[in-house]
Structure 1
Amino acid sequence: MSRVLIVGAGLTGSLCACLLRRELQNKVHIVVWDKAKGSGGRMSTSRPPDSLSHSADLGAQYITATAAYAQSHHSVYSELMTAGVLQPLDGLVEGLRQRDGSTDYMTPLGMSSVVKHFLSESADLFFEHHVTGLYRRGASWEVQRKAGGSEMFDAVVLTMPVPQILQLQGDLGHMLSVEQRQQLDGVVYSSRFALALFFPPDVVFSFPWAARYVTNNRSICYIAADSRKRNADGPGRGPSLVVHTSVPFGVEHLEKDKEDVQPIILQELHKLLPDLPQPISIKCQKWRYSQVLTSVPNCPGHMTIHDRPLLVCGGDSFVHSNFDGCVESALSVLSVLKASL
Structure 2
Amino acid sequence: MSRVLIVGAGLTGSVCACLLRRALQGGVHIVVWDKARGSGGRMSTTRPPDSSSQSADLGAQYVTTTPPFYKSHFRFYSELVSAGLLQPLDSLVEGLKHRDGDQDYMTPHGMSSLVKHFLSESGAELFFERHVTGLYRRGASWEVQSKTAGSEMFDAVVLTMPAPQILQLQGDLGPSLSVQQQQHLKAVEFSSRFSVALFFPPDADLSLLWTARYVTDSQSVVYLKHNAGVPGRGPSLVVHSSVGFGLQHLEEDKEAVQPIILRELERLLPGLPRPIGIKCQKWRYSQVLAAAPGRPGHMTVVARPPLVCAGDSFVRSGFDGCVASALSALSALRAGLTDP
TM-score (norm 2): 0.97
Q: Secondary structure at the match of 2:245?
A: helix
| Contact 1:53–1:238, Cα closer than 8 Å, also in 2 | no
Describe the superposition over 1:133-181 as per-residue Cα deviations: whole angstroms up to 9, x where unpaired.
1000000000001014110000000000111111111000111111111
Gaps of 5+ in 1: none
Contact 1:18 1:118 in 2 (8 A): yes
Corresponding position of 2:119: 119
Q: Which residue of 2 aligns with 1:252?
A: 248
Indicate the SS of the match to 2:52.
coil
Task: Give the alignment's TM-score, normalised by structure 1.
Answer: 0.97
Structure 2 residue aligned with 1:276? 272
Match of 1:321 among 317, 321, 327: 317
Q: Which moved more, 1:93-102 or 1:241-250?
A: 93-102
Q: Deviation per CA, 1:95-131, whole angstroms, max 9, x where unpaired?
A: 0101211111010110000000001121111111111
Secondary structure, in 3 states, of the residue corresponding to 1:53?
coil
Secondary structure class of the residue paired with 2:121: coil
Distance 1:158 1:339 in 2: 17
| Structure 2: runs of 5 or more not aligned | none
Secondary structure of 1:193's match?
Answer: strand
Assess if the C-alpha contact under 8 Å between 1:40 and 1:116 holds in 2.
yes
Aligned-residue offset at 1:81: 0.1
1:268-294 Cα distance to aligned partner (Å, 9 max, x none): 000000021110111100000000000
Q: Deviations over 1:196-245 (max 9, x none)?
A: 000001112212000010011000000000x24xxxx3111111100000
C-alpha RMSD over aligned residues: 0.8
* Structure 2 residue aligned with 1:333: 329
Quote the Cα distance in structure 2 between the aligned partners of 1:45 and 1:207: 22
Shift >4 Å, 4+ stretches: none
SS of equivalent residue, structure 2 residue 71: helix
Question: Is this contact kept in 1: 2:303–2:332, CA < 8 A?
Answer: no
What residue number does 1:28 align with?
Answer: 28
SS at match of 2:202: coil
Deviates more, 1:44-53 or 1:240-249: 44-53
Partner Cα distance (2:5, 2:135) in 1: 12
Aligned residue number for residue 239 of structure 1 = 235
1:89 aligns with 2:89: yes
Structure 2 Cα separation of the partners of residues 247 and 88 of structure 1 = 27
Matched AA of 2:333: L
Contact 2:12/2:310, CA 8 A, preserved across alignment: yes
CA distance in 2, matches of 1:117, 1:43: 13
Q: Sequence identity of aligned pairs in percent?
A: 73
Residue in 2 aligned with 1:285? 281
CA distance in 2, matches of 1:293, 1:286: 17
